[in-house]
Amino acid sequence: MTSSMDAILQVTDKTKLPQHVGIIMDGNGRWAQAKGKERVQGHYAGAKRVKPILKLAKRLKIKYLSVYAFSIENWLRPSFEVSFIMNLIKDYLQELRQEMIDEGVFFNFMGRRENLSKAVIKEIELTKEATKNNNTITLNLCINYGGRAELADAFKAMLQNNVKPEDVTEELISKYLYCPEVPDADLIIRTGGDMRVSNFLLWRSAYSELYFTETYWPDFSDEEFCDAVWSFMNRERRFGKTGDQVKKK
């Protein structure tokens, strides 16, 4: 399909692949405005891009895909736009639930339930239950999510469980995060031209490789996703060590 995809598929050492890819799906509204459309049409077009990227991630043997659909800060947007996005999420889960079941996709929700409508929560629970036995790839849908909120909720839970200060470790904190079974993000992709992480996966992104692109999310192609993955696979990840130490491993 693409040169980068061909290169990825030909790699025999699958440990070079990112296990967990996070995507900040930015630029939907600006994509619509650039085309003379209402901002909400950009969100609709953006939702349509999740399915093919998920299928591609599955084909590439990526195990976890986390998509930033709605941040805690996004509640500050115009109420009409917020309502449209929430209905879009609900419709998306209804539309793709059976396909996720058939494709072996396990669906995960990552975020706070408070402020979400009963209708959205219902679709989240139905989809998670329907896909609970799937293990080909995990889709983490981040709704009403914030990295700082995730850490605050983790610390609250630790206090409620009477965790002693001397028992607090990085490993223990990880166990109190949303969906603690989800590993750190290897690669975080941000579309739309901005070069920041915007409160996304703060704990899990400590050593993530970052890929920024000017492309608005609705135009983010399969080819560019492969380019991002290929870029990751050709980077040297040192985790505090020297390059020589990594090469000797």
Residues marked active site are found at 26, 74
| CA atoms lying within 13 Å on the CB side of residue 64 | 23
Taking CA atoms, 88 is separated from 48, 96, 104, 148, in Å, by 10, 12, 23, 25
> DSSP label at 142?
E
Contact 18, 232 (CB under 8 A): yes
CA distance 218 to 233: 25
Alpha helix (H) ranges present in 131-221? 147-160, 170-175
Strand pairing of 209-212 and 187-190?
Answer: parallel
The partner residues of 65 in beta bridges, in order of sequence, read 21, 139
In the chain, the amino acid numbered 196 is R
User: What would the 3-class secondary structure string for 17-28 be?
Assistant: CCCEEEEECCCH
User: Which residues are registered as beta bridge partners of 73?
Assistant: none
Residue 30: Cβ-neighbour burial (10 angstroms; 0-12, 13-18, 19+): middle
Mention every residue, 6+ apart, whose C-beta is less than 8 A from residue 193. 26, 27, 212, 213, 214, 216
